[in-house]
């Protein structure tokens, strides 16, 4: 069949090219090859990952959008037309990597923060303490104390298990398989160094990383990949994955070609076999079943660590979150529709789920209405792009945020959305050892660590400007948010007033 | 017992801290002959809103006495709402499993939430709150406070900045035996409010201070926490200080207080006075961004934003001190009329 698709991008070799061949070596999509000593491009394969441009020593390369004069039609966008052609050629479901890129309204960008002046002086975070420590775990709604014989007080009952996070930023779940072991090494060490947690995702935890157990959240997902007693024992916390924002309603799919020996051993499946997580957990068909699994995991871990549930932001997310809390979840991760993924059917990635902002507000409200907000740590994830988004998420009601895509971007990811091809030129979502080797451990740890430290510094700065010196006074404090350009219904869901209102 | 003249004079000394948009007083011990009834002070923006409240009170309580709160025309005080006080008792049969206090709190929340144009400004036994829009010394004159004698007075002059001035928004804010006056701003109000709402309180008075009185009620009365833990919740020690605590039980307790009651922390600059039936407490935020002075003269205990205010009514102090940031100054009642 003749291919009607025109290249999305053009690779242009300009004047200064020294013909060093670096671009050809860097391109993992087979776009550039050296022919007669000159780089030559097969444009149609280019995904605009910008790897070649970044590494070209002479700055001679350009990757530009292929501006064909398709008749402008905002309704039938070029990318839609391309998708139709692709489907006409293959008859298959379109796969996509990374997160939903459609231009749905980003509510974060319509929320603005308050600042202090006069009556509530702002605080200088360089001079005054500014506390951002956060604890992951269920809290009782009231404390009971008892007096010791000498008159001092102590707790009558110890609290359920708590994990201290130096910053309210977690590294979100990315499975071994979706990313490679090098990336896991980086995330694990970065989490340890910054005093937070990373999440190994649903593909198990490589033996080599067991030493990072105290900084690790391990997942139990519908495929039960890599779940065994030591896995649970080593973890700081366990997360039962019920859903994922990028692909609510379906399980993770790792094609056999990505299942290397390492991954096979970690997932406890044969090498080269497809690792297909079933859409539902086959032992969870109702909320009672989830309660049983939460209970089973707690029992298996001696009630010594928080057990959480991750859910995708979908229409009934508030009811589901409330059910999860009542099922015993010590933390609930709400994953919004902008969340990333190694691979997902495009139709699901682009059209399912709801925005994190609304889901988070609805969940926090519901848990408060039911008087159980205290009993759970609420983690917001799925498309948190900046410390600004993080601060707004905290103000809407999250205890902490989890970042995946942002961490990958700190490691070089350019959001070319080619993760599902397994050819990530930045060595992230690929199992090709040559490509994976592009991630240098030391440098990667520093980059991810810097990202977390930078956001923490920015959080302190914002707290100071808000005139508060502890993050717990920001959490759920929607009074410090105002909205511009949102309709009344959205404002009501968010529990935020329009800008200009007192 | 101290006549209302004294607190009026003390507040007059701090005239410049107000701007005429709010003044108020809590008087403890002013209704000795009605000491076992809840004294419910209500303000009505219009007289025709009164019948709904009175119907509710007659149905829900045993109404012992009701009367208009007497006032006198005072220059500087504009149009005043109608103000009434009701002395009520709760028939045990009405409680339906609630404690008497919880029952009264619910009743108050219902009036404030559901009945238009009516707000309960105080509802404790043997105490009353008198407040309005004006300078505190004028408010004292307006309410003829010199005619009341209390064992404990708390006064406040307001300079509202974040919310509009109205009669219900003047300090003190009071619920049951608690009353709170506040100098500063609760920058954490948004979450403090959502936190107390989880426990059935409703903030209706459009001022951040209101939430503090509900926090006191929740933590001290309902959660039965000792006072010193209330201070550690409102103005908690910094993590650094907690980590330095040598006694592991203490460290665990203070850690748990922050973990469990983080949403109840009052963040932002404040000095507050919390009144209760057996004394009063002065407390500042943990960075002490607002002034507070405490003093003693004989058996009398004083708290004020300014030393001059205390000295204006008590020239021969035994001692005067500035409480440390986040540390309370507590005055306890020895017996009615004697404090230390
Ligand atoms: S795929 Fe990436 S590396 Fe290859 S040509 Fe395109 S931009 Fe350059
Ligand atoms: S992870 Fe790699 S393939 Fe995926 S979007 Fe980022 S750069 Fe592209």
Strands B293-297 and B300-304: antiparallel
Query: Helix, strand or coil for residue A347?
Result: helix
Report the alpha-carbon distance of residue A10 to residue A47 in Å, rounded.
10
Report the alpha-carbon distance of residue A358 to residue A40 in Å, rounded.
48
Q: Shortest Cα distance from B158 to chain A (angstroms)?
A: 12
Report the alpha-carbon distance of residue B45 to residue A139 in Å, rounded.
42
- Average confidence score pLDDT of chain A: 95
Report the alpha-carbon distance of residue A297 to residue A300 in Å, rounded.
5
The answer, yes or no, to whether any atom of ligand 1 lies below 6 A from the CB of A426, is no
pLDDT, position B336: 54
d(CA A55, ligand 1 centre) in Å: 11
Greatest pairwise CA separation for chain B in angstroms: 62
What's A45's DSSP letter? Answer: G
Contact between A352 and A247 under an 8 Å Cβ cutoff? The reply is yes
pLDDT, position A255: 85
The residue among A199, A204, A313 whose CA lies nearest residue A249 is: A313
Cβ-defined contact of A162 to B268 (cutoff 8 Å): no
- Average confidence score pLDDT of chain B: 92
Cβ-defined contact of B287 to A123 (cutoff 8 Å): yes
A502 contacts in chain B (CB < 8 Å): 162-164
Query: Helix, strand or coil for residue A449?
Result: helix
pLDDT, position A1: 86
The answer, yes or no, to whether any atom of ligand 1 lies below 6 A from the CB of A11, is yes
The region of weakest confidence among A26-40, A202-216, A272-286, B134-148 is A272-286
Q: Shortest Cα distance from B201 to chain A (angstroms)?
A: 12
Tell me which H or E stretch contains A323: helix A317-326
Backbone Cα Rg of chain A: 24
The residue among B144, B171, B147, B175 whose CA lies nearest residue B23 is: B171
Which residues lie closer than 8 Å to A307 by C-beta, 6 or more apart?
A: A237, A238, A239, A240, A294, A297, A298, A301, A328, A329, A330
Contact between B190 and B263 under an 8 Å Cβ cutoff? The reply is no
Greatest pairwise CA separation for chain A in angstroms: 89
Nearest CA to ligand 1 atom 1: A46
Contact between A328 and A341 under an 8 Å Cβ cutoff? The reply is no
Structure token digits, residue A370: 């039911």
User: Which residue has better confidence, A280 or B339?
Assistant: A280
C-alpha separations of A445 from A158, A165, A188, B116 in Å: 35, 18, 9, 60
pLDDT digits (tens, 9 = 90+) for A213-225: 999 999 999 999 9
pLDDT digits (tens, 9 = 90+) for A63-77: 999 988 888 899 999
Inform me whether the pLDDT recorded for B6 exceeds 90.
no
Q: What is the 3-state secondary structure (H, E, C) of A56-114?
A: CCCCCEEEEECCCCCCCCCCCCHHHHHHHHHHHHHCCCCEECCCCCCCCCCHHHHEEEC
Contact between A381 and A402 under an 8 Å Cβ cutoff? The reply is yes
Chain A touched by B241 (CB under 8 Å)? no
Report the alpha-carbon distance of residue B142 to residue A388 in Å, rounded.
50
pLDDT, position B335: 66
Inform me whether the pLDDT recorded for B160 exceeds 80.
no
Nearest CA to ligand 2 atom 6: A413
Backbone Cα Rg of chain B: 19
Chain A touched by B225 (CB under 8 Å)? yes
What's A211's DSSP letter? Answer: G
pLDDT, position B338: 45
pTM of the predicted model, to two decimals?
0.95
Inform me whether the pLDDT recorded for A439 exceeds 80.
yes
Report the alpha-carbon distance of residue A416 to residue A52 in Å, rounded.
13
Average pLDDT over residues B61-70: 96
A374 contacts in chain B (CB < 8 Å): 198, 260
Nearest CA to ligand 2 atom 8: A416
Contact between B281 and B182 under an 8 Å Cβ cutoff? The reply is no
pLDDT digits (tens, 9 = 90+) for A1-33: 888 889 999 999 998 999 999 999 999 999 999
A-to-B residue pairs, Cβ atoms closer than 8 angstroms = 126
d(CA A102, ligand 2 centre) in Å: 17
A467 contacts in chain B (CB < 8 Å): 185, 187, 267-269
Helix axis angle, B227-234 relative to B248-261, nearest 10°?
60
pLDDT, position A451: 98
Half-sphere exposure of A140 (CA within 13 A, CB side): 13
What's B263's DSSP letter? Answer: G
pLDDT, position B340: 39
Report the alpha-carbon distance of residue A59 to residue A37 in Å, rounded.
18
In this structure, chain A runs to a length of 502
A84 C-beta neighbours (distance < 10 Å), count: 13
Q: What is the DSSP string of B170-236?
A: SSPEEETTEEEEEEE--TTHHHHHHHHHTTT----SSSTTHHHHHHHIIIIIIS---HHHHHHHHSP
Question: Which of A375, A396, A470 is the best residue to mutate to test the B interface, defined by the most B CB atoms within 10 Å of its own CB?
Answer: A470
pLDDT digits (tens, 9 = 90+) for A337-379: 999 999 999 999 999 999 999 999 999 999 999 999 999 999 9
B261 contacts in chain A (CB < 8 Å): 143
End-to-end Cα distance, chain B: 14
Inform me whether the pLDDT recorded for B168 exceeds 90.
no
Half-sphere exposure of A79 (CA within 13 A, CB side): 9
Long-range contacts of A317-322 (CB under 8 A, 24+ apart): A317/A354, A317/A359, A317/A362, A317/A363, A318/A359, A318/A362, A318/A363, A318/A365, A318/A366, A319/A366, A320/A242, A321/A363, A321/A366, A321/A367, A322/A363, A322/A366, A322/A367, A322/A370, A322/A372
Q: What are phi and psi of A187, to 5 degrees?
A: -65, -40
A153 contacts in chain B (CB < 8 Å): 226, 228-229, 250, 253
With cut-offs at 50, 70 and 90, classify the pLDDT of residue A491.
very high
Shortest CB distance from A140 goes to which of B164, B185, B260? Answer: B260
pLDDT digits (tens, 9 = 90+) for B229-250: 999 999 999 999 999 999 999 9
Inform me whether the pLDDT recorded for B205 exceeds 90.
no
Report the alpha-carbon distance of residue B253 to residue B242 in Å, rounded.
9
Report the alpha-carbon distance of residue B101 to residue B88 in Å, rounded.
12
Torsion angle, CA of A466/A469/A472/A476, rounded to 10 degrees?
A: -10
With cut-offs at 50, 70 and 90, classify the pLDDT of residue B157.
confident
Structure token digits, residue A425: 């030129």
């Amino acid at each position: 069949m003749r291919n009607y698709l025109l290249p999305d991008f053009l690779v242009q070799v300009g004047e200064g090219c020294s013909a060093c061949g670096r671009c050809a070596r860097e391109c993992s999509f087979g776009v550039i090859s050296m022919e007669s000593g000159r780089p030559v491009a097969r444009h149609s394969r280019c995904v605009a990952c910008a790897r070649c441009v970044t590494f070209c020593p002479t700055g001679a390369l350009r990757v530009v959008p292929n501006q064909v004069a398709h008749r402008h039609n905002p309704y039938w966008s070029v990318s839609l037309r391309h998708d139709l052609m692709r489907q006409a050629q293959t008859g298959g479901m379109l796969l996509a990597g990374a997160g939903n890129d459609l231009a749905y309204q980003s509510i974060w960008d319509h929320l603005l923060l308050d600042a202090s002046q006069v009556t509530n002086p702002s605080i200088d975070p360089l001079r005054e303490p500014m506390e951002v420590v956060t604890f992951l775990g269920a809290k009782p709604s009231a404390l009971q104390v008892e007096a010791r014989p000498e008159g001092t007080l102590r707790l009558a009952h110890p609290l359920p298990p708590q994990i201290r996070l130096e910053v309210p930023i977690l590294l979100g779940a990315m499975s071994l398989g979706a990313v490679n072991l090098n990336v896991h090494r980086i995330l694990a060490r970065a989490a340890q160094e910054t005093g937070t947690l990373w999440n190994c995702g649903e593909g198990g935890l490589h033996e080599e990383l067991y030493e990072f157990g105290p900084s690790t959240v391990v997942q139990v997902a519908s495929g039960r990949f890599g779940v065994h007693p030591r896995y649970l024992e080593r973890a700081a916390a366990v997360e039962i994955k019920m859903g994922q924002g990028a692909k609510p309603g379906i399980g993770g799919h790792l094609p056999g070609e990505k299942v290397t020996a390492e991954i096979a051993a970690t997932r406890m499946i044969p090498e080269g076999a497809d690792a297909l997580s079933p859409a539902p957990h086959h032992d969870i068909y109702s909320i009672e079943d989830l309660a049983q699994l939460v209970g089973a995991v707690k029992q298996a871990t001696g009630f010594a660590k928080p057990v959480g549930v991750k859910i995708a932001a979908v229409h009934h997310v508030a009811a589901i979150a409330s059910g999860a809390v009542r099922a015993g979840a010590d933390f609930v991760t709400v994953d919004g529709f902008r969340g990333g993924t190694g691979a997902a059917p495009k139709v699901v990635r682009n059209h399912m789920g709801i925005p994190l902002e609304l889901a988070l507000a609805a969940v926090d409200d519901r848990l408060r209405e039911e008087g159980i907000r205290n009993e759970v740590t609420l983690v917001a994830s799925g498309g948190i792009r900046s410390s600004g988004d993080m601060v707004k998420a905290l103000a809407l009601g999250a205890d902490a945020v989890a970042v995946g895509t942002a961490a990958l971007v700190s490691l070089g990811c350019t959001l070319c959305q080619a993760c599902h091809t397994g050819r990530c030129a930045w060595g992230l979502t690929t199992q090709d050892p040559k490509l994976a080797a592009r991630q240098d451990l030391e440098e990667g740890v520093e980059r991810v660590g810097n990202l977390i430290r930078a956001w923490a510094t920015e959080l302190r700065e914002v707290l100071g400007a808000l005139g508060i010196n502890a993050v717990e006074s920001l959490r759920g404090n929607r009074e410090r948010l105002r909205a511009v350009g949102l309709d009344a219904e959205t404002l009501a869901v968010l529990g935020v007033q329009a800008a200009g209102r007192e | 017992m101290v006549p209302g003249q004294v607190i009026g004079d003390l507040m007059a000394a701090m005239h410049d801290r107000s701007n005429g948009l709010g003044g108020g007083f809590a008087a403890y011990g002013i209704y000795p002959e009605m000491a076992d009834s809840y004294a419910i002070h209500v303000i009505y923006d219009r007289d025709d809103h009164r019948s709904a409240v009175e119907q509710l009170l007659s149905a829900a309580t045993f109404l012992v006495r009701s009367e208009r709160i007497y006032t006198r025309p005072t220059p500087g005080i504009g149009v005043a709402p109608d103000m009434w006080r009701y002395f009520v008792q709760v028939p045990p049969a009405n409680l339906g499993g609630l404690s008497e206090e919880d029952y009264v709190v619910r009743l108050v929340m219902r009036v404030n939430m559901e009945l238009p144009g009516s707000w309960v400004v105080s509802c404790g036994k043997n105490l009353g709150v008198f407040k309005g829009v004006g300078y505190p010394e004028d408010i004292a004159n307006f309410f003829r406070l010199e005619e009341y004698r209390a064992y404990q007075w708390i006064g406040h002059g307001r300079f509202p900045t974040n919310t509009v001035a109205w009669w219900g928004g003047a300090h003190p804010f009071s619920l049951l035996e608690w009353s709170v006056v506040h100098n500063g701003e609760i920058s954490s109000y948004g979450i403090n409010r959502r936190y107390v709402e989880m426990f059935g309180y409703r903030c209706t008075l459009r001022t951040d201070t209101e939430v503090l009185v509900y926090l006191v009620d929740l933590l001290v009365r309902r959660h039965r926490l000792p006072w010193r833990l209330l201070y550690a919740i409102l103005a908690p020690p910094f993590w650094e200080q907690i980590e330095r605590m040598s006694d592991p039980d203490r460290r665990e307790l203070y850690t748990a207080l922050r973990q469990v009651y983080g949403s109840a922390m009052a963040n932002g600059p404040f000095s507050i006075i919390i009144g209760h039936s057996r004394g009063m407490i002065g407390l500042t935020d943990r960075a002490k961004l607002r002034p507070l002075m405490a003093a003693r003269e004989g058996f009398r205990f004083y708290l004020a934003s300014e030393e001059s205010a205390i000295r204006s009514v008590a020239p021969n102090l035994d001692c005067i001190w500035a409480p440390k940031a986040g540390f309370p100054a507590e005055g306890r009642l020895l017996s009615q009329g004697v404090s230390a």
